[in-house]
Amino acid sequence: MSEANENSGKPEANNFIKDIIVKQRQQQPGKQVITRFPPEPNGYLHVGHLKSICLNFGLAEQFGGRCHLRFDDTNPVSEDPEYVQAIKDDIQWLGFDWGEHLYNASDYFDNLYEFAIQLVQKGLAFVDDCSAEEIRELRGSLTEPGRESPFRSRSPEENLDLFERMRKGEFEDGAKVLRAKIDMKSPNINLRDPLLYRIRHVLHPHTGDKWCIYPLYDFAHGLSDEVEGITYSICTLEFEDHRPLYDWFLEVLETPNRPQQIEFAKLHLDSVVLSKRRLLRLVNEGHVSGWDDPRMPTIRGMRRRGIPPEALKNMVESIGVTKKDSVISMSTMDHFIREELDRTCPRAMGVLDPIKVVIENYPEDKIEILHGPVHPKNADLGERDIPFTREVFIDRDDFMEDAPKKFFRLKPGGKVRLRYGYVIHCHEVIKNDQGEVAELRCTYDERTLGGVTPEGEKKVKGIIHWVSTTKGLSAEVRVYDRLWTTANPLADKEKDFIEFKNPESLVVRKAYVEAGLKGTPGGQRFQFERLGYFYTDPIDCQGDQLVFNRTATLKDTWAKLDPLKN
């Protein structure tokens, strides 16, 4: 079908914006796809932004166009260079590139001022002396038309003079504004003489004290698109009602480029709080360790958790692009994470909650090298060496003292296979003073190596993972889980959402991992067999210190856990 339809194999998800572009390019061959991603540098990017990034950069890529990164700094608040850097970094991590096209909305303050002058000259903008309060009152409501400002009939000459004096700083903040002159009776409130400029005597992080008047978003945004030569200005649905205004500016100013605004539905994830204000609270009050805490829905957090960028991009691709709001479940997100990690992660064994097993009939100083595949579906990656010794750790979950019949792991008097190794038989349970299982005494059957069941013996069903106590490596494993105990922590308006924080969203384990992981640097992904996917922490993995973050479990745990699944 289209040139953008390259990812053959998988069924393509709905993307109505792509369809529009394909159609337009058929009618208008050579029409370029120039998009932009316009973040406000007032926080870290989160999973919601992801959709917009993938869409804007993705479309540009697919159609051989380009996507600009434009920081929206129309609002002259001090911006944090940390956010600017983090946003750039996160977009690059996702694998997108804006090339030379890095801009700030403030780059266009001169152009915008020129546009404003043109509107005044055309009699399409006026300086209003009404206060913010009065303007609000005159604006009307959804059911009531607005009323015209008493200053609306000022002549273009008077307006030009006043606007010029606004720019020069002759008036106080709030004393005057510049407004478009459109239609106070329009059913669309955005067209009721919207504000274009207001006076604010503050320094701007990029333009310093050059300006004391600042353009408002609607005016600045579309015309920045125009100046940059953007062809498709893709934004979220709440801007649908702003489109007539977006188009009005382009039309009355008779601009050459005429970008087209197209709105799509936001990405919503259940069990996730996305608002910057609330995320900031989590960070500032120490409920999480920072913006990059692996429980945070920020790109940073997801990165540190070990989620690969491909998984996120695949997820966004599969959701498609529509005009209908929908909520993506965490199960869906995890599905894409698992799919990618299963394909790419080398395997290893790790024991997160160790109990010691002593294999009494195994020689004390013998070390045997057993073998497991690096990846069960990719023999090319070869095998890993796994030292086996008389003492090993197994996970506490894999032993049960009063086990039901169907429990196929280890139990007193029972047998289990140690993965890639021997069948062991448990004949004694040793407890500590608190009555907890401290050690298991077992014997092994040397005939059973390599999955062999000796003649006349019953096949042992259970296979468990293990790590040698002397050859294995100690590691810290951070077991991350859902941050909230309910699907929507904001639903109960009586309660502070913080109350719904899952107290077990982080459990730190003193674990043991396979010897072969010695010296693993930060930033590596593994599957711990039978347990899940883990990522060596890029900050805390230093020297011989091994720290793993759990990225995902092996199976869907959300559906089961979710008491609110409705």
* Binder of residue 266, out of Mg ion, ligand ATP, none (CB less than 5 to 8 A by kind): ligand ATP
CA distance 216 to 195: 7
Identify which of residues 2 and 236 has a Cβ nearer to ligand ATP in the complex.
Answer: 236
Identify which of residues 309 and 516 has a Cβ nearer to ligand ATP in the complex.
Answer: 309
Shortest distance, position 282 Cβ to ligand ATP, whole Å = 13
| Amino acid identity for residue 418 in this structure | L
Query: Any contact of residue 38 with ligand ATP (CB under 6 A)?
Result: yes
Shortest distance, position 225 Cβ to ligand ATP, whole Å = 12
**245 with 190: CB under 8 angstroms?**
yes
CA distance 261 to 222: 8
- 10 Å CB burial of residue 332 (0-12, 13-18, 19+) is middle
SS3 at position 247: helix
Query: Under rule CB under 5 A, which residues in 156-185 are in contact with Mg ion?
Result: none
Of 194, 208, 204, 203, nearest to 242 (Cα)?
A: 194
Shortest distance, position 81 Cβ to ligand ATP, whole Å = 16
Identify which of residues 236 and 557 has a Cβ nearer to ligand ATP in the complex.
Answer: 236
Among 40, 247, 391, 476, binds ligand ATP (CB under 6 A): 40
Identify which of residues 264 and 533 has a Cβ nearer to ligand ATP in the complex.
Answer: 264
CA distance 73 to 40: 6
Cα torsion 292, 297, 299, 304 to 10°: value is 40
* Binder of residue 39, out of ligand ATP, Mg ion, none (CB less than 5 to 8 A by kind): ligand ATP
User: What is the size of the binding site for ligand ATP (CB under 6 A)?
Assistant: 14
CA distance 219 to 182: 13
- Looking up tokens 């205004």, which residue turns up? 245
Identify which of residues 69 and 355 has a Cβ nearer to ligand ATP in the complex.
Answer: 69
Shortest distance, position 495 Cβ to ligand ATP, whole Å = 22
**308 with 340: CB under 8 angstroms?**
yes
- Looking up tokens 């940390």, which residue turns up? 82
- The pattern of x and - marking residues 34 through 63 that bind Mg ion according to CB under 5 A reads ------x-----------------------
Identify which of residues 130 and 237 has a Cβ nearer to ligand ATP in the complex.
Answer: 237
- The pattern of x and - marking residues 268 through 297 that bind ligand ATP according to CB under 6 A reads ------xxx---------------------
Identify which of residues 235 and 357 has a Cβ nearer to ligand ATP in the complex.
Answer: 235
Shortest distance, position 70 Cβ to Mg ion, whole Å = 12
Shortest distance, position 37 Cβ to ligand ATP, whole Å = 6
Of 215, 217, 220, nearest to 198 (Cα)?
A: 215
Identify which of residues 40 and 540 has a Cβ nearer to Mg ion in the complex.
Answer: 40
Buried b (16+ CB within 10 A) or exposed e, 150-174: ebbebebeebbebbeebbeeebeee
Distances (CA, A) of 88 to 71, 75, 106, 309: 10, 20, 18, 15
What does the block give as tokens for 382?
């070869």
Q: Which stretch binds ligand ATP (CB under 6 A): 46-54, 131-139, 182-190, 297-305?
A: 46-54
Residue 430: enclosing H or E segment and its boundaries?
Answer: strand 423-431
* Binder of residue 339, out of ligand ATP, Mg ion, none (CB less than 5 to 8 A by kind): none
Q: Which residue is nearest to Mg ion (CB)?
A: 40
Identify which of residues 45 and 138 has a Cβ nearer to ligand ATP in the complex.
Answer: 45
Q: Annotate 491-537 with DSSP letters as a single string.
A: S-TTS-GGGGB-TTSEEEEEEEE-GGGTT--TT-EEEETTTEEEEE-
Shortest distance, position 72 Cβ to Mg ion, whole Å = 7
Query: Under rule CB under 6 A, which residues in 221-260 are in contact with ligand ATP?
Result: 235-236
Identify which of residues 46 and 313 has a Cβ nearer to Mg ion in the complex.
Answer: 46
What does the block give as tokens for 254?
């008779």
Identify which of residues 275 and 378 has a Cβ nearer to Mg ion in the complex.
Answer: 275
How many Cα neighbours within 13 Å face the side chain of 331?
10
Identify which of residues 276 and 371 has a Cβ nearer to Mg ion in the complex.
Answer: 276
* Binder of residue 509, out of Mg ion, ligand ATP, none (CB less than 5 to 8 A by kind): none
Shortest distance, position 291 Cβ to ligand ATP, whole Å = 13
User: What is the size of the binding site for Mg ion (CB under 5 A)?
Assistant: 1
Shortest distance, position 188 Cβ to ligand ATP, whole Å = 20
- The pattern of x and - marking residues 48 through 67 that bind ligand ATP according to CB under 6 A reads xx-xx---------------
Buried b (16+ CB within 10 A) or exposed e, 544-560: eebbbbbbbbeebbbee
Question: For residue 442, what are the β-bridge partners?
Answer: 359, 426
What does the block give as tokens for 31?
């029409």
Query: Any contact of residue 39 with ligand ATP (CB under 6 A)?
Result: yes
Q: Give, as one character, the DSSP assignment of residue 399.
A: B
**367 with 472: CB under 8 angstroms?**
no
Q: Tell me the residue length of the chain.
A: 566
First to last CA, the chain: 39
Shortest distance, position 108 Cβ to ligand ATP, whole Å = 17
Angle between helices 109-121 and 156-168 in degrees, nearest 10: 160
Identify which of residues 328 and 348 has a Cβ nearer to ligand ATP in the complex.
Answer: 328
* Binder of residue 258, out of ligand ATP, Mg ion, none (CB less than 5 to 8 A by kind): none
Shortest distance, position 149 Cβ to Mg ion, whole Å = 28
Q: Which stretch binds Mg ion (CB under 5 A): 32-40, 234-242, 265-273, 297-305?
A: 32-40
Query: Any contact of residue 94 with ligand ATP (CB under 6 A)?
Result: no
Q: Which residue is nearest to ligand ATP (CB)?
A: 48
- Looking up tokens 């595949």, which residue turns up? 373
Binding site for Mg ion (CB under 5 A): 40
Residues that bind ligand ATP (CB under 6 A): 38-40, 48-49, 51-52, 235-236, 266-267, 274-276
